Amino acid sequence: MAPRVILIGPMGSGKTTIGQLVASNLGIAFRDTDHVIEERAGKSVSDIFLEDGEDEFRILEKKVLRDELLSDDTVLALGGGAPISVDAQSALRAIASPVIYLDISLATVAPRIGFNRDRPLLLHNPRGQWQTLMEARRPIYESIADSVIDVNEKSESEIVSLVLEVLK
Ligand code: S3P
């Protein structure tokens, strides 16, 4: 039991949008760790950060990741920080499912993250915060990924085709 494919990458890289399109193309379920966390907590990611703090969010995220890695034949999108803990890194390296990293530049992501859309880590100086997180996380994303897709200057349908190509 494991997901058909796991999408990782930073905030704004399109994991949810692309994941949903890939899932519907394959006729299988789409799962997203942030959505599951929100369902379980009964509140939004922003409210969890605000009311309970980031540490509590990361605890929930770890539990959700552990459970979702057992979801069978799904397209699973991970929140940008979900693959970062040491435990998550080992689990993702060990799993047979292909892990695809959606790589995006600051220039491409900037217009998407300017207006905060439930992204508590990007509340102040979104571009600067995004870049700082990305500098720390890029080597981790790269080391976990079985494939990297450069999503810059590509349409959604081109990216979906590239994901499907990896899965062939
Ligand atoms: C986070 C990314 C978000 C969400 C939370 C923290 C991160 O998910 O899990 O705001 O640490 O990068 P998306 O990557 O889906 O925006």
Question: What pLDDT digit, counting tens, does each position of 52-109 carry?
Answer: 999 999 999 999 999 999 999 999 999 999 999 999 999 999 999 999 999 999 999 9
CA 142/CA 98 separation, integer angstroms: 13
CB atoms within 10 A of CB 59: 12
Q: Is the CB of 80 under 6 A from ligand 1?
A: yes
Of 64, 101, 109, the residue nearest 82 (C-alpha): 64
pLDDT over 70 percentage in the chain? 98
pLDDT greater at residue 116 or residue 97: 97
Domain assignments of the chain as residue spans, ordered by start: 5-162
Q: Which atom of ligand 1 is nearest to the CA of 32?
A: 15
Distance 164 CA to ligand 1 centre (A): 24
Task: Say what the pLDDT of residue 115 is.
Answer: 62
**Whose CA is closest to atom 3 on ligand 1?**
79
> Which is it for the CA torsion 78, 103, 22, 164, positive or negative?
negative
Cβ-proximal residues to 135 (8 Å cutoff; 6+ apart), any chain: none
The mean predicted confidence, pLDDT, of the chain is 96
Q: Which residues are part of a known binding site for Mg(2+)?
A: 16
The band of 123, judged by pLDDT with boundaries at 50, 70 and 90, is confident
Cβ-proximal residues to 164 (8 Å cutoff; 6+ apart), any chain: 22, 25, 26
Fold of 5-162: Rossmann fold (3.40.50)
For the sheet with 147-150, list strands across it. Answer: 29-32, 74-77, 5-8, 99-103, 147-150
- Pairing type for strands 5-8 and 99-103 reads parallel
Distance 80 CA to ligand 1 centre (A): 4
